[in-house]
Structure 1
Amino acid sequence: MSRFLRRLSMAAGLALLMWAPAAQTSLRVNPLIVNMAPTAQGSSSVVQLTNVTDADLPLEVTVVKRTVVDGAEADVAADDDFIIFPPQMILKPGQTQTLRIQWVNGAVPATSESYYVYVTQIPAPLNPGMSGVKVSYRFGISVHMVPPGAMPNLQVVGVKAAHDKDGKPGFELTVKNAGTAYARMVEHEMTMGAAVHTWSRDDIKKIIGTGFMLPGQQRTFFVPFEGEAPAPSMLSIGYRGAA
């Protein structure tokens, strides 16, 4: 297992996805993030799903691949890249089901590939004569296929003086992941010049959030800052571990 993949495995237990409160109370998912090293023979992992309600919970599982289209992240169907078992299930109250996720794409990618495995609650049909809206909740499990030796490499490619919607001064920071593995800005810190100013992981979490980037992806973030916007060459971004 590569050094980066070991770091990802340690970080997985700390990461959270934001779901609707009602969805959080219906299904417990562990882990929320899965990192696997792809092999030509296939790779697999398991996730535990637990029904924490007092009613039966019918579920179905689908897979999408996270890609970049015209500079923006987009999801495309990717059910053929995985075998999911079971693909559908009904969890009894309190029941825990093991969900096996097996990657069967075959070729080992040159860069990491990221997916969402969606576990969707199938809404119960309305009784005859009743009207209303059927509600369905969807849980996203992040699955990342990270080839051996793959690492992120965040580079500052642009800085532009700007103001946010409330008129607060700062600059627009354009960052590119020039590495071979996905990156999360929140796991990095940014330094201006010879430690003239440093944005810690906590600072980045507050002003940017997670800042997820696929290999080759470029994103722009607003950074509050008093003073003249720095030149791109004055800013450096370094990995500092799970935030």
Structure 2
Amino acid sequence: MKRIFIGLYCLFASSCGWAIQLSPMFHLLDAAGSRSMNSYQVFNPSSSDVYMEVKVMRISGSTSAPADDDFLILPPQGRIAPNSAQRFRIRYLGDMPEKTTLYRVIFEQINPTGSSEEESGSVKLLFKFSTSVMVSPLDCDSNLNASIASQKIRFLNTGNCVFDMTATRFEMSGNSGSTVVNWDDFKSGAGGYLMPGINVSLKLPDNLADYQEVKVIGQ
């Protein structure tokens, strides 16, 4: 099955158990206006300075391409003192997309200019965090179709904007009556955002397997 849901995740060069902390890991932005900007906070709990660089990649299917020109990031690099935090602000400056576009905003720890592992006599663990940013057009049309067949439920996003499954309720009906469920009740294990034009089919859990119809009843 295609990877069609957007999950929140970070990539590390080593364990996540210590050092740099980044939040949040996900942003929903509009392509213009007050909701075209937001920020991240990076906290350094260690006893030494940490240097970070921010880059942007545009994601299309299984491919990615540099997209630093689509965003204003302040600062693009930063030194974070021990036991201190640095806020990085982002603003979308690209063209108006026809549909929601996915980006990765990547925070990468770097060595300061003039230093190296050889000079310091030790090897430092460098961290890399990959966050998700979805940029949607202003004329957003979020529409979800849902149907059931052979004890499987199928979802199709027919709109031009990402659809938030986690905020949606579904009315299930069948010979035994009806019930209202949330996204978590399907126990899909997938993320909660369905991109435009994407469909997914899930096997119904045992407690919902006897229902034959489904209706999207709102967010």
- Please classify the TM superposition score into its range, dividing by the shorter chain length: 0.7 to 0.9
**Residue identity matched to 2:92:** W
- Distance (Å, rounded) in 1 between the aligned partners of 2:152 and 2:116: 48
- Distance (Å, rounded) in 1 between the aligned partners of 2:84 and 2:173: 55
- Distance (Å, rounded) in 1 between the aligned partners of 2:65 and 2:217: 31
Give 1:90-169 correspondences, 5 Å limit.
90-105=79-94, 107-122=95-110, 125-127=116-118, 135-156=125-146, 159=149, 161=150
Give 1:193-204 correspondences, 5 Å limit.
193=173, 196-204=178-186
Q: CA RMSD in A?
A: 3.6
SS of 1:203's partner is: helix
Cα distance, 1:51 vs structure 2 = 1.4
Could you tell me whether the CA contact under 8 Å between 1:184 and 1:210 is conserved in 2? no
> What TM-score comes out, normalization by structure 1 length?
0.66
Instruction: Name the structure 2 match of 1:173.
Output: 153
Instruction: Name the structure 2 match of 1:186.
Output: 166
Could you tell me whether the CA contact under 8 Å between 2:145 and 2:216 is conserved in 1? yes
**Residue identity matched to 1:235:** V
Cα distance, 1:34 vs structure 2 = 2.7
Q: Which has the higher contact order (CA 8 A, sep 6+)?
A: 2
Instruction: Name the structure 2 match of 1:35.
Output: 28
SS of 1:59's partner is: strand
Cα distance, 1:150 vs structure 2 = 1.6
Instruction: Name the structure 2 match of 1:215.
Output: 196
Pick the aligned partner of 1:65 from 51, 58, 67. 58
- Distance (Å, rounded) in 2 between the aligned partners of 1:122 and 1:222: 44
Could you tell me whether the CA contact under 8 Å between 2:8 and 2:191 is conserved in 1? no
Does residue 77 of structure 2 align to residue 88 of structure 1? Answer: yes
- Distance (Å, rounded) in 1 between the aligned partners of 2:54 and 2:205: 41
Quickly say closer, same or farther: Cα 1:219–1:66, change in 2 above 3 A.
Answer: farther
Unaligned runs of 5+ in 1: 1-15, 162-170
Cα distance, 1:151 vs structure 2 = 4.1
- Distance (Å, rounded) in 2 between the aligned partners of 1:24 and 1:30: 15
- Distance (Å, rounded) in 2 between the aligned partners of 1:116 and 1:81: 12
SS of 1:55's partner is: coil
Q: Over residues 71-92 of structure 1, what are the superposed CA-to-partner deviations in whole Å (9 max), with x where a residue is unaligned? A: xxx5443223123232223322
> What TM-score comes out, normalization by structure 2 length?
0.72
SS of 1:180's partner is: coil
- Distance (Å, rounded) in 1 between the aligned partners of 2:122 and 2:80: 26
Count residues in correspondence. Answer: 205
Could you tell me whether the CA contact under 8 Å between 2:8 and 2:26 is conserved in 1? no
Instruction: Name the structure 1 match of 2:216.
Output: 237
Cα distance, 1:109 vs structure 2 = 2.1
- Distance (Å, rounded) in 2 between the aligned partners of 1:104 and 1:174: 35
Quickly say closer, same or farther: Cα 1:68–1:173, change in 2 above 3 A.
Answer: farther
**Residue identity matched to 1:56:** D
Identity %: 23
